[in-house]
Amino acid sequence: MSASSATNGAESETEGLRVKEGPSPGQGIPEAAGDASGAAPGPAAEDAPGTETAPVAAAASDAEGAGGAGSASGAGAGGRKPRSVRLVLLSLMIAVLLAMLDNMIVGTAMPTIVGELGGLEHLSWVVTAYTLTTAASTPIWGKLGDMFGRKGVFLTSIVLFLIGSMTSGAAQTMGQLIGFRAVQGLGAGGLMVGAMAIMGDLIPPRERGKYMGLMAGVMSLAMIGGPLVGGTLTDHLGWRWAFYINLPLGAVALAMVGTVLHLPKKPAKGRIDYLGAGLLTAGITSAVLVTSWGGTEYDWDSATIVGLALLAVAALAAFPFVERRVAEPILPLRVFHSRNFSLVALIGFVLGFVMFGSMTFLPLFQQSVQGASATNSGLLLLPVLLPMMVVSVVTGRATTRTGKYRMYPIMGGALIPVGLFLLAQMDVGTSRLTSGLYMAVLGAGMGFLMQLTMLIAQNSVELKDMGVASSTTTLFRTIGGSFGVALMGTVFAQRVEDSMRESAAASGGAGGGKQLADTGPQLDAASLEKLPAQVREAYEHAVAGGTHGVFLLATGVALLTFVAAWFIKEVPLKDAEAQK
């Protein structure tokens, strides 16, 4: 290897860590101090693609306080400090845990919150305000990170999330809680995106799979532990600690990111696309409200829902016209020129549809039909979450080792519809073991896709669009989840109500006929025990029928994943040099 090529390789591997932005995309001008250091570039340039230290050697060196010449020499002369890299990744995982854990904990505390603050009629807004601001801000955080630098933007999102958590815990009225939850959601929009984009900067796709598998493990841990932690905190310390628990975790993440992660500050490029951001926010907000309110707060044909739907269509239709005409679009449409990126965006939408919908209705079936306790709602999902976590970790490591990934979306796309179809066969006689096996099939299918979709998306764009790729993938999954919960909820409620009316008509005026007709679509196991045997049996059959309809709908939607996965191209994963 020539000295010139070795030097270029070394500079490529430390892209984003000691290379300044050049006058044109993809080019870098080495810092003078780095060139003057006299560091031998050979070892850094010759790191094998399969090693994890090559792309992050300079990060580790910078993390120890070195900069300029020291940074260069630390990277070049074998000064690798994987411990510093692990600290950076640990801080990112804590941030992801914050974003995932919050909703799981707060959901358990909601009955107690309503009991103290009142405002039952506004209960849905506690969740909707958080979801809306998270979805609307996600693409904006990604673009801001691309324009101004990841670290500062990421720290800002953490601070905003902690402010929202602290004020939500101190809320004295339901209106205050809703407003503070909106602030919290704004911060949450940047947590997941920032973590994934920073990981994309530090670790090239060739080595990123195993780390994304760990991220999937953190998400699964949050889903399992969230309800248990929320119930414990609410019972022993009060519901306010469901929000205050974020403060120590967030402080640790804030301190670690601030001290360990060292990325260069980027000069602002162009002007912020305020019109595009406004149109995208209006479109996303309207779409989420349509799916959240349609069939529940308002009829689907009501003026409110129709008006919101028209606003969503108009805003999202005008958005691409604006983005083609601005210098720095909030969501560059060029990322969709990659077939792989467009396909994994679609797969992410379907995955969100399936995952959030399943996590909503599986516990409901187990509590209402199988008599499980609501306090163990996190443990009820173990048959889904454990296979998802294991498969995600194994898939990530296999992708890192071989560089091959196309087979995994196909396998996941095949298993998910099969698992959903099996779940659609559950009835009042289905045992927990049988339903657990069905759930394991679904969980394994989702494990093949959970983090691989993000990896393929990031591998499909240039480094300058890493934030946009991360935020867009997250956004599609979030919106898919909103649509999934809303549409599956409508199907479930309609099926349960129809079944209960049929049972009431069959029983006539005697035998609890009126009570059958008045029974709501959602009851927990404790409430079911208080019902007469005839009503309880009718309700269990109704829930089983509603679950059948929900998972059949999800099966049809999930088939899109299998079809889309076949069109993904096996584009080689970029190593540290290729990523530049």
Give the side-chain half-sphere CA count within 13 A for 260.
22
Question: Which range, 114-123, 167-176, 356-365, has the best average confidence (pLDDT)?
Answer: 167-176
Residue 376, pLDDT > 50, answer yes
Confidence class of residue 50 from pLDDT cuts 50, 70 and 90? very low
Rounded distance between C-alpha atoms, residue 69 and residue 34, angstroms: 5
Please, is 442 exposed, middle or buried when counting C-beta atoms within 10 Å of its C-beta (0-12, 13-18, 19+)?
Answer: buried
| Phi then psi dihedrals of residue 100, to 5 deg | -80, -35
Residue 380, pLDDT > 70, answer yes
pLDDT at 124: 65
Question: Which range, 42-56, 88-102, 239-253, 338-352, has the best average confidence (pLDDT)?
Answer: 338-352
DSSP sequence for 406-437: THHHHHHHHHHHHHHHHHHT--TT--HHHHHH
Please, is 559 exposed, middle or buried when counting C-beta atoms within 10 Å of its C-beta (0-12, 13-18, 19+)?
Answer: middle
pLDDT at 535: 74
3-state SS class at 334: helix
pLDDT at 414: 95
Q: Which of 13-27, 408-422, 533-547 has the lowest mean pLDDT?
A: 13-27
Rounded distance between C-alpha atoms, residue 154 and residue 145, angstroms: 8
CATH architecture of structural domain 83-263: Up-down Bundle (1.20)
Q: Mind listing the pLDDT tens digit for each residue in 362-375?
A: 877 887 787 766 55
H or E element at residue 10: helix 3-13
| Phi then psi dihedrals of residue 19, to 5 deg | -120, 130
Q: Mind listing the pLDDT tens digit for each residue in 478-495?
A: 888 878 877 888 788 788
3-state SS class at 405: coil
Give the mean pLDDT of the chain.
74
pLDDT at 580: 53
- Dihedral over Cα of 111, 113, 118, 123: its sign: negative
Rounded to the nearest 10°, the torsion over CA 243, 277, 138, 234 is 20
Rounded distance between C-alpha atoms, residue 284 and residue 286, angstroms: 5
Question: What DSSP state is assigned to residue 294?
Answer: B
Q: Same fold for the domain at 83-263 and the one at 334-507+522-573?
A: yes
Residue 467 vs residues 11, 138, 239, 300, 486: alpha-carbon distances, Å = 22, 10, 35, 36, 28
Please, is 509 exposed, middle or buried when counting C-beta atoms within 10 Å of its C-beta (0-12, 13-18, 19+)?
Answer: exposed
pLDDT at 318: 92
- Dihedral over Cα of 136, 253, 104, 116: its sign: negative
Residue 167, pLDDT > 50, answer yes
* Residue 461, both tokens: 């764009």
Confidence class of residue 409 from pLDDT cuts 50, 70 and 90? very high
Rounded distance between C-alpha atoms, residue 240 and residue 247, angstroms: 12
Residue 381, pLDDT > 90, answer no
Q: Mind listing the pLDDT tens digit for each residue in 321-335?
A: 988 888 778 888 888
DSSP sequence for 552-569: HHHHHHHHHHHHHHTT--
Contact 524, 367 (CB under 8 A): yes
Rounded distance between C-alpha atoms, residue 421 and residue 548, angstroms: 9
Residue 385, pLDDT > 70, answer yes
Q: Mind listing the pLDDT tens digit for each residue in 70-102?
A: 333 333 333 344 556 677 778 888 887 877 777
Q: State percent of the chain over pLDDT 90.
A: 15
Domain ranges of the chain: 83-263, 271-330, 334-507+522-573
pLDDT at 101: 75
- Residue length, the chain? 580
Rounded distance between C-alpha atoms, residue 574 and residue 474, angstroms: 21
DSSP sequence for 13-44: HTTTTSEEE-SSTT-EEE-HHHHHT----HHH
* Residue 57, both tokens: 């050697």
Q: State percent of the chain over pLDDT 70.
A: 71
Cβ neighbors of 216 (< 8 A, separation 6 or more) are 388, 389, 392, 393, 396, 447, 450, 451
DSSP sequence for 461-515: S-GGGHHHHHHHHHHHHHHHHHHHHHHHHHHHHHHHHHHHHHHHHHHTTSSSHHH
pLDDT at 310: 94
Question: Which range, 1-5, 13-17, 61-65, 152-156, has the best average confidence (pLDDT)?
Answer: 152-156
Identify the residue with better confidence: 68 or 451. Answer: 451
Contact 343, 564 (CB under 8 A): yes
Rounded distance between C-alpha atoms, residue 194 and residue 470, angstroms: 8
568: left (phi > 0), else alpha (psi -120 to 50), else beta?
Answer: beta
Rounded distance between C-alpha atoms, residue 181 and residue 51, angstroms: 42
- CATH class of segment(s) 334-507+522-573: mainly alpha
pLDDT at 441: 95
pLDDT at 578: 52
Measured at the alpha carbon of residue 171, what is the angle toward residues 165 and 172, in degrees to the nearest 5?
A: 170
